[in-house]
Structure 1
Amino acid sequence: MTEQPAPYQPNPTLKRVENGLESVLFNGRWLMAPFYLGLVVSLAVLLYKFLLMLWEFILHAPAAKETDIILGVLSLIDVSLTGNLILIVVFSGYENFVSRIDAGGHPDWPEWMTKVDFAGLKQKLLASIVAISAIQVLKAFMNIDAAFDVQKMSWLVAVHLVFVISALVLALSDRWGGDHGSK
């Protein structure tokens, strides 16, 4: 007869230490909550800036040229996209890294807010950054007659292309990674 080896018995003291450490790490995620609250405050500051820009836009609209109106609208869109970017980070980051959000009692809750995983978050962030970058390039192009600076325009286009290529590479890598069962 062969003797059976004794089943593995973890050290109870080490198991308690391990459980305590895991509890601290798991609950450490709540340290991110103040960051998201800070971003909500920054959204309020951005709203204040948006309202100031809108008021100035309205005041100067009667005497403004068409290009000035377009530039003003692009500036307002730029700030709006930045606000969207903050919202994406706040909701997706909180949902992915801190705690689930219960949307049950909110019939008008946007569906994407609780369904964006980390890969989707990266794609939405880069898409927003690309859009903001595109608006900066468009504003510079619209303002080309006033103060054309070849070097500045070249840098704006180059940075925009880096963002576009980065977004494309990220989307392709997520897609290729998803085909191999890593989703």
Structure 2
Amino acid sequence: MKRIETAFEHLLFSSRWLMAPVYFGLVLAMVVLLIKFTKEVFHIFSEIMTATGGELITGVLSLVDIALIMNLLIIIMFSGYENFVSKMEDLHSHRDRPDWMGHIGFSDLKIKLIGSIVAISGIELLKGFMNVAKLEDRELAWMVGIHVTFLASGVLYALMDRLHGGGKGH
């Protein structure tokens, strides 16, 4: 019976590698976002002489939005892989290795995720305000409501994390 238990535990432990293709899929998502980013840069430059200031700001906010999402994907891929799949031992001495790599736990990852969602929602809301003439009041109200919901969720999650003890020393 002990052999069956040990074999089952090894199977469970090995199943963490089923997440590796998921992280690779996130790499592919970054490629898609890079293409979208490049398309947006070309769009901004192609209309630089005819676009209004608001349109240019909205274009730049779209670039910032994509950059935030890509940064978030990197954090999720690195910390998720190291926390749930395998340590990146060969990269510990790499000179370009980010300082935070290997130090972000699951709780930190969730806080960064909700923080990024709030930031992305804020950028979308700002883009909405830049195009307020094109939006109905109802659409704008939904955008504000969703942003406030994300913001309140983020604050409550951070408070819960702090109360649980995950925010020691922050």
Range into which the TM-score falls when normalised by the shorter chain: over 0.9
Task: Work out the percentage of aligned pairs sharing the same amino acid.
Answer: 45
Aligned CA RMSD, in angstroms, stands at 1.5
What is the CA–CA distance in structure 2 between the aligned matches of 1:82 and 1:50, rounded to whole Å?
11
TM-superposed CA distance for 1:136, in Å, is 0.5
What is the CA–CA distance in structure 2 between the aligned matches of 1:24 and 1:47, rounded to whole Å?
37
- Bigger CA radius of gyration: 1
Equivalent AA in structure 2 for residue 144 of structure 1: V
- Provide the TM-score with structure 2 as the length reference: 0.94
My pick for the range that moved more, 75-84 or 21-30, is 75-84
What is the CA–CA distance in structure 1 between the aligned matches of 2:15 and 2:99, rounded to whole Å?
28
The runs of 5 or more residues in structure 1 that have no matched partner are: 1-13
TM-superposed CA distance for 1:105, in Å, is 3.1
Moved beyond 6 Å, runs of 4+: none
Equivalent AA in structure 2 for residue 117 of structure 1: G
Secondary structure of 2:49's counterpart equals: helix
Q: Report the equivalent of 1:71.
A: 58
Q: Report the equivalent of 1:51.
A: 38
Equivalent AA in structure 2 for residue 135 of structure 1: I
1:157 aligns with 2:148: no
TM-superposed CA distance for 1:86, in Å, is 1.2
Q: Report the equivalent of 2:23.
A: 36
Q: Report the equivalent of 2:9.
A: 22
Matched residue pairs, number?
A: 167
1:131-180 deviations in Å (ceiling 9; x for gaps): 000000000001112x131111111111111111111111111111107x
What is the CA–CA distance in structure 2 between the aligned matches of 1:57 and 1:113, rounded to whole Å?
34
Q: Report the equivalent of 2:70.
A: 83
Q: Report the equivalent of 2:106.
A: 118
Q: Report the equivalent of 2:131.
A: 143
1:107 aligns with 2:101: no
Q: Report the equivalent of 2:122.
A: 134
